[in-house]
Structure 1
């Protein structure tokens, strides 16, 4: 009977101890020991307790990063670092694995097997690791990968490692903030926020980079809550960071119907900043169907880039077009008389580009020695017309028109100052470009 009582008392004590050590209900924890493997869903962003200030919550983290033997099953830690939010390095060690380092891994971090010949086993580092993270929340970029490496190394070196800390995967945190379905590299996100990527792919420097990135993400969340750029999805902060305050993004609809926005500096399809959400896309379509227009303007709030969707009604568009047209006419009225000086040779060698047939709107081609004619017009007559330079054939039929690039503005200046011109085709049209001699004569 006495033995039974003693056993019961021991069981009660153990239950009390376990309850006192278990994480709070609104938190998740990650346990990694020699008998249990962490699941991916065990690591995700957490929120602070209501009675804990934001700064205290952020400062409660340490960041873990590892370099490993590679990506094959059972990969192990060869370098590990733990850094606190003040960027103090709490742990920075290399460990000798029980398996060889893959060549593909060496290409990333530059570590070869021979460099680890005198390194300690992972087992001997566990006390330092547990001391560095004791009583702290832990974070890491792709933290599941790091904890998996720690788990594998613990098994291989017979180490007793238990991580029951509350955990945040900074990669998943970034995916949530920017609504990404495909994760970005740590270096890409750091470049987006002007965080130095010097010595990337070293455990210590990657941990320091992750500390800075976590602070940036936390700042965005504190500034906007869960409402950062709600009209957009798949936000690429690296491409967005290349945009200046006041830049207008370019809209393009993909073959699958998704509407993409690109930075002004985009080249060859690169530079995608974001997709419109389905809700925003429907609103934009409605505006276009009513003959309105949409503009996407980049602005900065607390040094954080945002995108404002500006919409314009049909009346707004017409008023804007009329103002721009009048501004253009006013500039031509000033520029054409100055440009209207007949060249000494009486002719100009120019290139025809963007030739537009009246019907249909396609590029016109001409043969060598073919002649076109430009009629004299008064300045007022030209400014009251299409603001395009008209070309006529021998019969006086209008056959094509030319937009006013700088050289052709000079031609219009001469034509509106009392001259006409013959346009002699010098070479057959190649890639929509045709060299011509414009020969002037008195009207």
Structure 2
């Protein structure tokens, strides 16, 4: 990192802590200057759709076919590119989206599919692989930052824990979790989702000087303990503790404080946990956090629409559209979109045919992911399914290809090797990046 970037970061952190981002009229301009810096590292935001979203009702619609369902297509700002009528905001920014309609995988189980899409590996082997968030945050990490390099916002309670795991990379690359402090219903027009990280402030009666003395005592005792017990478990515990202490610094903690944003900005993202999570993601990439994952699907698997597919998907689509389209717009306005790649995906798609309870079931054979932002050539659909949506006819894409493309977009060689505990070199991805969707 050059001196100007480092000084700019220190200046931003110091002033944001005193004045608050919402009251600083010059912050967007400063963020824009940082975003255009050729030495700025890239970031990645993964929008995770827990439960498996239906491609036929979102980005690969089949109008006029029996599988088409209840929704209509809408035109976008790209001639010939259409998707769901419930994506009014995204339709205006379709030139920034690359729709991958040829996804095809082999896992139709939620936990196995979640692990596969996060790691590129099928579960069940002897090795616990790192998630793509852990791998990319390692490749893009800033060792001087007080913030974690990998943050997961409101991960699903039913998400496979190993899918977010750093695997053999170790706890240093584990995701820090931002959770919801309240649970407003999705259609609650009054309540605003309250997201945050617990225990970032000092407890009552403990001032900064006493906190510093306690940390000094802990460090002394911990160093003695590690000298006598140099085990992996002890090192892991120390790493987690030290990361938590760094996040308690006011400059780091302020990144998660949405009260610094104006009510207008918060409203623009949507009141739910997903919209507010997208706002946290924007605040984090402004501060050079390499990887942020934001989940939409509620506390369970909201996109798992075996019954009553259409009302559920309409509600989820509107929530997705508001949060994602605002995120794109704000990143673009602040000069950060070119250095931030966004990936939209779930664990699989859903059956094109509609079942007897007006639902769609698990379907990994032919489905859709979307890439946008930095490094992505938007305004196109890559891959094609047949008129019924049952199989991929062009541009078949496997998970390793998707992850290789994502790596290339953020400027990381997918062939970058990490070493397992057995000293076995393992590439982040062995797939083939899709050149057609890369800039």
TM range (shorter): under 0.3
- Please report the TM-score for the alignment, with normalisation by the length of structure 1: 0.23
